Chains A and B, each alone.
Chain A
Amino acid sequence: GAGVSQTPSNKVTEKGKYVELRCDPISGHTALYWYRQSLGQGPEFLIYFQGTGAADDSGLPNDRFFAVRPEGSVSTLKIQRTERGDSAVYLCASSPHQGAREQYFGPGTRLTVT
């Protein structure tokens, strides 16, 4: 079956620009997570949705980062006024239901801020 998909796979943007990264979770999965992974590091948690609401956004580094999931399926991570330090791979994961522990990851979006 279809896994988690993320678009675009690569995004190059200039410092100061606005970007949107999209995640399509596995159909029927209610939990959705965003992580950021820098080279040589493990994924770092950003935000978690249960349904449409952000259940935990404690990992968002500052108010330039924002994410939505308006209909409880597709999610968009939005980054304003991008900085070079935002360059990383942004990973999305979904999980079947609130009690499920394992997460299913997408391939990620590689963001490069020049």
Chain B
Amino acid sequence: SQKIEQNSEALNIQEGKTATLTCNYTNYSPAYLQWYRQDPGRGPVFLLLIRENEKEKRKERLKVTFDTTLKQSLFHITASQPADSATYLCALDNEGNTPLVFGKGTRLSVIA
């Protein structure tokens, strides 16, 4: 069966460091992979989308990589700030109108 795993339930890092979150999947061949941020009591907020033929995508302090051979995406936040503390969700996205398949999320805490 299809499976998506975000390897860390929680990640604590020091302010200013780079946070790296991992998303692995099996039995799935997504055309896209999306990353969302979710704060407590709120809905997820779209951050980045990367296509299967893209190796890397950047947006300000965010960087996403997508390795379809390893079936893995890495999400990096450089120069992390306490305001980056949140849960980050990865989601598999296939062609057409198939629904997103979300991982459980990784709760990031950036300590000042």
Task: Name A residues whose Cβ lies closer than 8 Å to a Cβ of B.
Answer: 4, 31, 33, 35, 40-45, 48, 50, 55-56, 58-59, 91, 93, 98, 101-108
Contacts and interface: CB of A to CB of B under 8 A. Distances in A.
A42 B102 contact: yes
Interface residues of B, number: 23
Contacts of A35: 102
B99 A104 contact: no
Contact of A104 (B32, B46, B93, B104): B46
B7 to A, nearest CB: 14
B101 A107 contact: no
A105 B13 CA distance: 28
A42 B46 contact: no
A42 B3 CA distance: 13
Given A102-B46, A106-B43, A33 B99 contact: yes
A102 B49 CA distance: 8
Interface in B87-112: 89, 91, 93, 97-105
A59 B99 contact: yes
A43 B90 CA distance: 11
Contacts of B105: 42
A51 B93 CA distance: 20
22 contacts: A33-B100, A40-B9, A40-B104, A42-B89, A42-B102, A42-B104, A43-B89, A44-B102, A45-B101, A48-B97, A50-B97, A56-B98, A58-B99, A93-B43, A93-B44, A101-B49, A103-B46, A105-B36, A105-B43, A105-B45, A107-B41, A107-B42
Contacts of A44: 102
Contacts of B43: 4, 91, 93, 105-108
Nearest to A108: B43
Contacts of B36: 105
Interface in B8-35: 9, 32, 34
